[in-house]
Amino acid sequence: ISAGVYVLFMRIQKIPFVINKYSLLSGFFLTGVFVFFIAANKLTTSANAIVLQYSAPIFILILSAIIFKQKFRRGDILTVTATSIGISLFFFDKISAGYITGNLLALLAGLFFAAMFVTTGRADDKSRSSGILLGHLFTAIIGVPFVFIYSTPVNTVTVLTILALGIFQLGIPYVLYGMAARHCSALACSLISAIEPLLNPLWVFIFDGEMPGFYAIAGGSVVITAVVAWTVWSARTLDSAGTEAENSTDSNTNKKPG
């Protein structure tokens, strides 16, 4: 269903489907995110799975430094650290020990999530969109056969849930991510996406009246503050760098030959 949503987006935007290194790698990594996260939810607590998957920003720093020799600013590292602490604090009451296999799978989901951000961030629009579509298609190919292996109830609730997940949880969000990745770095996309799990208790509070606990409010505040502060700081840093470059160019242009 989510693949169908993305196909519709590509047709409307007239983005051609291509097969190349970046689209295949993006599809492979995105499939790993989905498969490992689902498996982790079966073998560990949902809180563990979410917290460990959103270790992705840490892996982005590591992968970019090792593979692309990219140097990150101190502010990037501090923001990633604060975000990781905030997410952990957010789920502090629910994080459980044990569940080693599930926790390792959730960490793999985080690693693949980071690799997906890095790969799609370096791809052009055609390769990025094709890779995201392939990720959904590969996941469907892997997942659909399990319907025939395990007892799967088919009723109104199940159908509506699958439609909601396919359209609103995966389809539309990945359309928006594909558009955002044209303008944002892999680290920016990863950090901003960390706000997603924090909205869970907000929806529960709005629709069910359940008040978030102290740790949830504290953790959410840390993450949102860190991400907003980092975004503003990055924008100002880029503006400052651009101004300095313009001034340097003007200065060189105005120099007269001796």
Average pLDDT, the chain: 85
Nearest to 198 by CA among 222, 176, 174: 222
In this prediction, residue 70 carries a pLDDT of: 79
Average pLDDT over residues 234-241: 70
Q: What is the DSSP code (8-state) at residue 170?
A: I
Tens of pLDDT, residues 174-211: 999 999 999 888 888 888 888 877 777 777 778 777 77
Q: What are the pLDDT digits (tens) for 92-149? A: 766 666 788 988 999 999 999 999 999 999 999 999 999 999 999 999 999 999 888 8
Statement: residue 163 has pLDDT above 80: yes
Q: How far apart are CA 41 and CA 31, in angstroms?
A: 16
Query: Does pLDDT of 50 surpass 70?
Result: yes
pLDDT confidence of residue 63: 86
Provide the percentage of residues in the chain whose pLDDT is more than 70.
89
- Count Cβ atoms below 10 Å from residue 9 Cβ, excluding itself: 20
pLDDT at residue number 225: 86
Is pLDDT at 240 greater than 60 in this prediction? yes
Per-residue pLDDT, averaged over 40-55, amounts to: 84
- Best CA proximity match to 121, nearest among 218, 231, 26, 246: 26
pLDDT digit string, tens, across residues 1-16: 999 999 999 999 999 9
- Distance CA(118)–CA(114), nearest Å, equals 6
**Average pLDDT score over residue span 228-253:** 66
Dig out the tokens for 161 from the structure.
């849930």
Q: Whole-prediction pTM value?
A: 0.80
Q: DSSP labels for 75-122?
A: HHHHHHHHHHHHHHHHTTTT--S--HHHHHHHHHHHHHHHHHHHHHHH
CB 225 within 8 A of CB 90: no
Crossing angle between the packed helical segments 46-53 and 74-90, to the nearest 10 degrees: 180
pLDDT score, position 258: 47
How far is the C-alpha of 33 from the C-alpha of 39, rounded, in Å? 10
Q: How far apart are CA 121 and CA 58, in angstroms?
A: 16
The single-letter DSSP state of residue 196 is G
